[in-house]
């Protein structure tokens, strides 16, 4: 099977028009490869640094539900890595990992009800309405970092660079 992203046959593996073994393996970084797969070309240096930063903040998850579920499952059955991965994925919900989906639903409902309102204005209005009702604003805030996630400030600073 051949797609615009990749093609493999008995002699070669091609990714976004480049030979995986000859052109990419040992020649590009993981962030470069992520950029290539997402955008179809190797990222510029500033884009590569941003991808690197995003990958770095994804590594640490601390003692949150999905990480605990994975750790405990792996501890109980180390021969079953897939069970630990499944336990983590199955613990996704409205408080962790699922917040982006709930935020998107809020925005989609708002857009459907008010299609002529510019998105920044609409988002501000939707958040203000939820806060006035003391409802949770999904996708905003952090369960532990109530004053703001320190990673966000650094990522925004890197994006400005």
pLDDT digits (tens, 9 = 90+) for 33-50: 999 999 999 999 999 999
- Rounded to whole angstroms, the Cα distance separating 21 from 28 reads 11
- Rounded to whole angstroms, the Cα distance separating 70 from 74 reads 6
Q: What is the pLDDT of residue 60?
A: 77
Joined tokens for residue 64: 């949150």
Handedness of CA 115, 120, 121, 125 (dihedral sign): positive
pLDDT digits (tens, 9 = 90+) for 53-107: 999 988 877 778 888 999 999 999 999 999 999 999 998 887 777 788 888 999 9
Q: Where are the alpha helices (DSSP H) in 13-148?
A: 30-39, 45-59, 65-76, 81-90, 99-113, 119-132
DSSP three-state, residue 61: coil
> pTM to 2 decimals?
0.64
Using an 8 Å Cβ cutoff, are 123 and 107 in contact? Answer: yes
pLDDT of residue 142 exceeding 80, the answer is no
Joined tokens for residue 67: 């990480």
Helix axes 81-90, 65-76, angle to 10 degrees: 150
pLDDT digits (tens, 9 = 90+) for 112-133: 999 999 999 999 999 999 999 9
- Rounded to whole angstroms, the Cα distance separating 154 from 9 reads 43
């Amino acid at each position: 099977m051949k797609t615009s992203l990749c093609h493999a046959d008995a002699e070669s593996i091609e990714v976004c028009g480049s030979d995986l073994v000859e052109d990419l393996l040992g020649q590009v970084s993981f962030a470069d490869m992520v950029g290539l797969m997402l955008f179809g070309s190797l990222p510029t240096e500033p884009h590569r640094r941003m991808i690197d930063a995003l990958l770095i903040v994804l590594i640490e998850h601390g003692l949150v539900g999905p990480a605990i579920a994975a750790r405990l499952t792996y501890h109980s059955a180390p021969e079953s890595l897939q069970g630990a991965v499944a336990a983590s994925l199955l613990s996704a919900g409205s408080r962790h990992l699922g917040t982006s989906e709930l935020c998107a639903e809020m925005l989609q409902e708002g857009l459907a009800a008010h299609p002529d309102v510019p998105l920044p204005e609409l988002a501000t209005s939707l958040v203000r309405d939820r806060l006035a009702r003391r409802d949770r604003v999904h996708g905003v805030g952090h369960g532990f970092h109530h004053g703001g996630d320190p990673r966000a400030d650094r990522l925004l600073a890197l994006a400005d660079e």
